[in-house]
Amino acid sequence: MWQGPLNKIDEYRYEIPQDYKGEKGFLRMRTSGMIYINDSMISTIRKDNAAEQVANVTSLPGIVGKSLAMPDIHWGYGFPIGGVAATSFENGVISPGGVGFDINCGVRLVRTHIEAAHLESKKIRELVDQMFINIPSGLGSKARIRLTKNQLEEVLELGAKWGVENGYGWEKDLDVLEENGCLSSADTTHVSQKALERGKEQVGSLGAGNHFLEIQKVDQIFDETAAKLFGVHKGQLVIMIHTGSRGCGHQICTDHLKVFEKAVKKYGINLPDRQLACSPAGTPEADAYFSAMSCAANFAWCNRQMIVHWVRQSFEKVLGETAEDLGMEIVYDVCHNIAKVEEHIIMGKKQKVYVHRKGATRSFGPRRQIPQKYKKIGQPVLIPGDMGTASYLLHGTDKAEESFSSTCHGAGRIMSRTKARSQWHGEKIGQDLSRKGIYVHPASWKVVAEESPDAYKNVDSVVDVAHGAGLSLKVARMIPLGVIKG
């Protein structure tokens, strides 16, 4: 039970004051913490110690602005999941704990010309089953293709572009991916042989845990203008993909954390939590990690690109029409776990910073570095639910500049996977969802139990806070019709 102070600023913002930990040594907070929640979420925050992690992050050298947490906040490694922090490009630090192990875990939304009402439940089931055949899923799942070392290194350098150049998708797909699906800072010389070995067999696979592939129906529109710009309407069938960099990204994080633990001592950095291990920007350790992290991010973009290709093929086979005729275009692709160099207005001045988003989504407003066709309204923001719950399409805002253009990334866990398994049986959850008109095809019923909707916060409430705080504004709500769980 967390007993620290939470001072209410307004309906959607609570602050952990800078004097919470006093002024003694490494306990000193360099700034305050801000958590975006409402009154009803206070009890959940108190049960979890993630708020302490928000306070701990304030001790990072060179932190700029506040240590932030989104409404889906819960306990993580170093940073809380839902944590955001910016550090100075000149004299700040980079911390892998502010990115996480599943580097560029992200979400992609594909729209269609299909009206959900025109598809029988049998066809939904056929589509889900065909996608399950085409797209490997589950713990340790291996992709349909095995890349050579040279091919994988090309993936790590080029990201989604490699997928398109090798026949996985359309050239115009790249226009609507965050960073166009590639970080140019990638350098494979900083990726270990073990990470390469883990990655060779997994490009183009869903994985396990909270990763999923869903057929959804748009059931509510909140902003007609934005929805029209994004190409969505009520009753429309869409597909959402949620996965990341698999074992490759996990290994890259693991490898560099060991280096950073030594760097903390080397550079004389005092921290309240060893999981916040970091290195000053511009040092060999920081540069090597940033380059390797970029490789993992590119892996994830290519991974989702190949999955989109096989999703399109699945629809073509079941429905007997081409993906082009079915209008299967990507609305957008966002990443959740990443560190990026961005420019933000801080204390009235534009500054270049490293923005760490750990379980948080970028939410650029109009006129930022986003696709030209979205510049009038802001980038699409994708916030997934889980199996039986809704997912949301929102758009970024200028107001989000206060959070370094960040918003939440999902509902947020309130129960461990172990506890969830002890309370629910996957088969029973599948039956319950079936009665609600949701077909679930899992790689493992154990994972279905772990990912029970009741193990998460109410996604509607979480999104309402993000919307109310102005970090991202609601455009459309989607509900699941068919689900593949890893």
Q: Distance between CA atoms of 76 and 74, rounded to whole angstroms? A: 6
Vertex 156 angle, CA 90 and 215, to 5°: 105
Which of 400, 416, 398, 399 lies closest to 408, judged by CA?
A: 400
Question: Residue 49 contacts by C-beta under 8 Å, 6 or more apart in sequence?
Answer: 2, 75
Residues with Cβ within 8 Å of 161's Cβ and at least 6 positions away in sequence, in order, are 174, 180, 181, 182
Catalytic residue among 190, 250, 309, 409: 409
Give the Cα separation of 409 and 384 in Å (integer). 7
Interhelix angle 246-266/284-319, rounded to 10 degrees, is 170
Closest to 473 (Cα-Cα) out of 379, 384, 343, 335: 379
How far is residue 360's CA from residue 69's CA, in Å, rounded to a whole number? 9
CA 292, 298, 300, 304: dihedral to nearest 10 degrees?
-170
Q: Which of 366, 367, 480 is CA-nearest to residue 124?
A: 480
Q: Is 356 a catalytic residue?
A: no
Q: Which residues contact 288 (CB under 8 A, 6 or more apart)?
A: 190, 256, 259
How many Cβ atoms sit within 10 Å of the Cβ of residue 429? Answer: 22
Closest CA to 471 of 390, 384, 409, 425: 409
Q: Mind telling me the catalytic residues?
A: 409
